[in-house]
């Protein structure tokens, strides 16, 4: 299964298979033991984040922009102003805009005895494919709800949905999850045996994302207390 045969608008990924098929682009050139292709692993990494780095080619050169995304089944959605460059390109391009979407979590700093073996514990997903503009209003509304809920689960139902004017100003693109891989480094330090006696501390520093106390907008109804779904972050 390749993007070329299944990436056309309206097609659906083969969700029956427990893993994404490997392709030349999704098998890394090094650290292959860190690569994972099962949907469960890929989905869990995607579902734990909301910011991706979207890569596309403009005038032959690469462009990488940070942007929000949402996963709905075997699709990713990305949105933006109808005037934004990649979203315009995805709408104009036939057939679609070739993209690479990458999501990365940093989980730890790995400090080895040697500079060479310093590393990072991380989980990442790289999606290759072609993005298409979403033209169906129902699908666009589903995507916009998912984009809000990806950041704060439960929030879409607790906000005013887009009106017609806002919907017209928003472009949504979709990318099917077909050519996908995850890469994970976890665990401790790989010190060389001959380095173990060196007088340098060796170990891992855990890294996490932390949410602070929500700051309410000024002047709002004091009866609007901090929603329960924010406590779950």
Q: x/- binding map, residues 25-44, to a second copy, per CB under 8 A?
A: x---xx--------------
Residue 174 binding a second copy, by CB under 8 A: no
Residue 218 binding a second copy, by CB under 8 A: yes
For a second copy, the binding residue among 46, 54, 171, 173 (CB under 8 A) is 54
Q: Which has the closest alpha carbon to 71: 86, 52, 99?
A: 52
Q: Which is nearer to a second copy, 15 or 136 (CB)?
A: 136
Helix (H, G, I), strand (E, B) or coil at 83: coil
* Residue 122, CA distances (Å) to 100, 186, 207, 209 in order: 19, 7, 10, 13
Q: Which of residues 60-89 bind a second copy (CB under 8 A)?
A: 60-66, 68, 80-81, 83-85
For a second copy, the binding residue among 18, 32, 138, 209 (CB under 8 A) is 209
**Distance from the Cα of residue 32 to its chain's centroid:** 21
For a second copy, the binding residue among 8, 17, 51, 168 (CB under 8 A) is 51
Shortest CB 195 distance to a second copy, Å: 6
Residue 1 binding a second copy, by CB under 8 A: no
Distance CA 85, CA 73 (A): 26
Q: Which is nearer to a second copy, 15 or 81 (CB)?
A: 81
Residue 214 binding a second copy, by CB under 8 A: yes
For a second copy, the binding residue among 166, 168, 186, 232 (CB under 8 A) is 166
Q: Which has the closest alpha carbon to 77: 128, 15, 126, 140?
A: 140
- H or E segment and range at residue 101: strand 97-111
Q: Which is nearer to a second copy, 9 or 161 (CB)?
A: 161
- By the 10 Å C-beta count (0-12 exposed, 13-18 middle, 19+ buried), 164 is classed as exposed
Q: Which is nearer to a second copy, 21 or 230 (CB)?
A: 230
Q: x/- binding map, residues 103-132, to a second copy, per CB under 8 A?
A: -x-x--x-xxxxxx-x-x-x-x-x-x----
Structure tokens at 174: 């979709």
C-alpha angle 194-189-193 in degrees, rounded to nearest 5: 15
Sequence-distant (≥ 6) Cβ neighbours of residue 11 within 8 angstroms: 176
* Residue 159, CA distances (Å) to 24, 96, 146, 231 in order: 43, 32, 13, 17
Residue 93 binding a second copy, by CB under 8 A: no
Shortest CB 19 distance to a second copy, Å: 21
Residue 153 binding a second copy, by CB under 8 A: no
Residue 48 binding a second copy, by CB under 8 A: no
């Amino acid at each position: 299964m390749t993007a070329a045969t299944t990436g056309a608008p309206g097609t659906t990924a083969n969700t029956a298979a427990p893993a994404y098929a490997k392709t030349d682009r999704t098998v890394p050139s090094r650290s292959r033991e860190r690569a994972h292709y099962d949907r469960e692993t890929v989905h869990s990494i995607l579902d734990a984040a909301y910011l991706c780095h979207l890569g596309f080619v403009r005038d032959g050169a690469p462009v990488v922009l940070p942007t929000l995304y949402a996963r709905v089944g075997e699709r990713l959605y990305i949105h933006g102003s109808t005037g934004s460059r990649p979203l315009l390109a995805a709408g104009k391009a036939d057939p679609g805009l070739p993209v690479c979407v990458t999501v990365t979590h940093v989980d730890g700093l790995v400090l080895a005895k040697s500079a060479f073996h310093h590393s990072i514990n991380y989980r990442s997903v790289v999606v290759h494919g072609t993005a298409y503009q979403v033209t169906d209003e129902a699908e666009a509304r589903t995507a916009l709800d998912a984009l809000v809920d990806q950041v704060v689960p439960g929030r879409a139902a607790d906000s005013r949905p887009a009106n017609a004017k806002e919907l017209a100003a928003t472009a949504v693109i979709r990318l099917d999850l077909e050519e996908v891989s995850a890469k994970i480094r976890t665990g401790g330090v790989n010190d060389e045996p001959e380095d173990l006696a060196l007088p340098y501390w060796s170990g891992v520093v855990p890294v996490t994302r932390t949410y602070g106390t929500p700051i309410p907008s000024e002047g709002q109804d004091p009866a609007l207390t901090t929603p329960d779904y924010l406590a779950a972050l």
